[in-house]
Structure 1
Amino acid sequence: MAAARRRAFDDTAFPFSQRSCGVGPELSRPPQNDGMKKNARMTGATGLKIRRATLADAVPWTLLFDADGPRAEVEKYLARGEQWLAEQGGEVVGQMVLMETRADIWEIMNIAVADACKGQGIGTAMLKKAKSLATQRGAQRLEVGTGNSSLRELAFYQRFGFRIIGVDFDFFVRRWGKATKQGGIPLRDMIRMEMVLKAAS
C-alpha cells in the first residue's frame, strides 16, 4: 500500500490537474459588472471564488495528493481542519486545508493549485484568504511547511511574507520510510515557515 501511495503522490499527471481551468467556450463566463470586476481584482484571478467546503462537496483527493501524502496522514488533518476550495468557471481549481495547531497559531496544512491553472494568482489568492481567516480568528501567527527540495514553493512563500523558522530534519524520511527525490534533490526535511500576524500581548 505504501508503494502505491508513493506512486500516486509522485504522479502529477492527474486528469484533474489537466483541466482547462474554467476557460474556453464550453465554460464561457457571463459579462461581469463593476462589482464582480472589483472582486476579481481583489482575489488576483478573474472569476475566482474561494469558499469553505461542505459535506456535499467531493473531496479533491488529486489536489490534496499533489501537495502531501500518504492518504492516512492527509485524512488526519482533513478531519480536524477546514478545507477551502478555489473555484473558477464552475470547477475546483485549487484547495487548502487550515487548522489551528496550537493556541493562537493556525497552519496551512495543505495547499495546491491544478497544474493547468498555475501562474494565474490562484495560490496567492488562497494565501491571502488564509491570512485573512487566521487574523479574523485572533491568531498571532500563520505557519506553513514545505519540503527542502520544493524550491519553487520556498520562493513563493517567502515572497508572500513567510520566514523560515526551523527545519524538521528527516520528516519525509520518517513519513515515507525512505528519502525520495524532487528535481534531482533528495526530499528529506520539512522547512518550517511562519508569518507574524500580531505581536503577543
Structure 2
Amino acid sequence: MEATISRTDHPDRDLLRLADESEASVADYVGRSTCYTARIGTQTVGQYLLLHTRPFTAELVSLAVHEAWQGRGIGRRLVGHAIRTARESGFRRLELGTGDAGIGQIALYEKCGLRIVGIDPDYFTRFYPVPITENGIQLRHMVRMRIELE
C-alpha cells in the first residue's frame, strides 16, 4: 500500500517531537508553516512542514517518519513532495537544516538533490538546553542544505 500525501491543519505532535526535540523551536515555526502528512489508510506515517522564510525561499522543517515505517521510501517521497510543492508555489529555493550527526538524513537529502551549502557552528549546543545524541554522537553543528528550484 502506497502512502498518500496531503495538506493538514493538524500536525502530528509525536512526529514534531521526533523531528525536533525542542518545544521552543517547534513553537516558533509550527504556526507559520504549512503541514503535509503521509498516510497509509487512516494512519499518519510521516510529515513535514514547509516554512516561507525569505522572498522566494522556503524551508523544509520537521520532516519525520514514524519509526515503524522508516526504511520504506516514505521520507524520500516526502522530500520529493516538498520540492514539487515549493516549486509549484513559486519558490525558487528550498533549504533545510539538519544535525551534523544525522548521516542517514544527510544522505537522503543528497539523493533527493539537495546540496550542503554551509554549517551553522555549535547551533545545537547554543540553542538546545539539553544535549541531543544521534548515532552515538552529540549534535553540535547544523548542516545547511539547499536545492535551487528554477
The superposition leaves residues 9-28 of structure 1 with CA deviations (integer Å, 9 ceiling, x where unpaired) of xxxxxxxxxxxxxxxxxxxx
Match of 1:117 in 2: 69
Cα distance, 1:184 vs structure 2: 2.3
The structure that has the greater radius of gyration is 1
What's the TM-score once normalised by structure 1's chain length?
0.71
1:190 lines up with 2:142 in the alignment: yes
The superposition leaves residues 33-69 of structure 1 with CA deviations (integer Å, 9 ceiling, x where unpaired) of xxxxxxxxxxxxx331111113xx4x41111111113
- Letter matched to residue 186 of structure 1: Q
SS in 2 for 1:156: helix
CA distance in 1, matches of 2:99, 2:125: 11
1:99 lines up with 2:51 in the alignment: yes
The structure with more helix, counted as a fraction of residues = 1
Match of 1:129 in 2: 81
The structure with more strand, counted as a fraction of residues = 2
Match of 1:50 in 2: 5
Match of 1:85 in 2: 37
Match of 1:177 in 2: 129
Match of 2:109 in 1: 157
**How much identity, in percent, do the aligned residues show?**
35
Number of residue pairs aligned between Structure 1 and Structure 2: 150
SS in 2 for 1:109: strand
- Letter matched to residue 136 of structure 1: E
CA distance in 1, matches of 2:132, 2:31: 27
- Letter matched to residue 90 of structure 2: G
- Letter matched to residue 6 of structure 2: R
The superposition leaves residues 80-139 of structure 1 with CA deviations (integer Å, 9 ceiling, x where unpaired) of 010111110210000100011000011101100011111111111111111111111211
- Letter matched to residue 51 of structure 2: M
Unaligned runs of 5+ in 2: none
CA distance in 2, matches of 1:188, 1:78: 23
